[in-house]
Amino acid sequence: MEPTSPASIDSDDTIYSADSIEFCPIQSHSHLFACGTYQLAKDESEESEQVSQEAEAKADSDDDTDSDDDEEVKADKPMLRLGRLLLYEVGSKDDKTRNLKNLSCTETAAILDMKWSHHLVNGHPTLGVADASGNLSLYQFKSEGADLEIVTKYQTNENNKLALSLDWSNRVSASSEPQIAVSLSSGDITILDLDPASSNLQERLTWHAHDLEAWIVGWNYHDTNVLYTGADDCRLKGWDLRMDCSYATFISKAHQMGVCSIQSNPHDEHILATGSYDENVLIWDTRSMRQPLGTTETGGGVWRLKWHPTRKDVLLAGCMFNGFHVIKYDDAWSGSMISSFMEHKSLAYGCDWSYETRKDLDLPLVASCSFYDHLLYLWQPEEYKS
């Protein structure tokens, strides 16, 4: 059966290229979601201009002293990675139009990933943001309103590495001292301990996990001694943090192309979903990962995966060159696409389910965003009846 094709409910132009969407899972703020953007821009500072002029002068001088050297010397300005953290509100439960409202815009370094803590931190909803400066920043709603305030920023490196993804350890079980895992463009993984009372982040462990960019990191939400990572070296790896992570993995699975999405199923302790540039979603039984339980072709590189807020059998996938898809699994973990949103005309990156509890929704609302056309859409998947 062909998947349904839901229409857009509302949309917005994010101005900068959009790559990350995260609905707040805390019920008091579940009508809000954050959108992260990433934009390259030339550095127009006076210092950059001076460097450019000096390079051009040197090129002229070289031409005068060596007429045999006709190679053109370029003096391009360095590129800046700019970002914005956008906060949106979805119309209230009594508002049938469910329109989007942009509440705020915070200038940041380019954002590559964001995740909300699924439990309050020091009494507040808390958002973690990984950016192109190698920072992990935490933002909180400090009052009953919808004003996000930065509470701490941790520099994960000093060597111009990008922080590519993050994940909280407390998705399933609340923790008095949650951990945050961060993956870096160097292939390194960093584990940070969070002190909720002070909001301070302390580095617990860093190790070199992959030889190329580590695009994704994800906890086993049911056993947070275990962490999964994926990278451009085409490896999915599993790590037991009770071992010496500097040299030991207990899982290392080869893929045809880079691994860029991982999510443990919060509703089934043994199920893990992974996605790759090879355009397949794989479902694994974490007790025996010799081969996947199921493989679903998506027609596009699988950049993000999000399990349904309450159902273990429904998965949302952002598939780069082939839109966004909702996949439903049977008891044998064979998947079929039940709903596909294809209105994005650029790289389909960020997506998430709404956590708002509504009896009138068969499937929750979804927000999704695309990169070069910097578009954000709100839509509602439809589940066909077999």
Digit-coded pLDDT (tens) for 163-213: 999 999 999 998 888 999 999 999 999 999 998 788 889 999 999 999 999
**pLDDT given for residue 33 in this prediction:** 98
The answer regarding whether domain 8-38+83-379 maps to CATH 2.130.10.10 reads yes
Tell me what the mean pLDDT of segment 99-106 comes to.
95
Digit-coded pLDDT (tens) for 264-298: 999 999 999 999 999 999 999 999 999 999 999 99
Cα(349)–Cα(367) distance, integer angstroms: 11
User: Domain residues of the chain, as ranges?
Assistant: 8-38+83-379, 43-69
Longest Cα–Cα distance in the chain:
79
Nearest to 284 by CA among 318, 245, 253, 243: 253
For all residues of the chain together, what is the average pLDDT? 88
User: CB neighbours of 222 closer than 8 A, spacing ≥ 6?
Assistant: 172, 264, 269
Q: Is 42 left (phi over 0), alpha (psi -120 to 50) or beta?
A: beta
Q: How many CA atoms lie within 13 A of 176 on its CB side?
A: 0
Digit-coded pLDDT (tens) for 299-320: 999 999 999 999 999 999 999 9
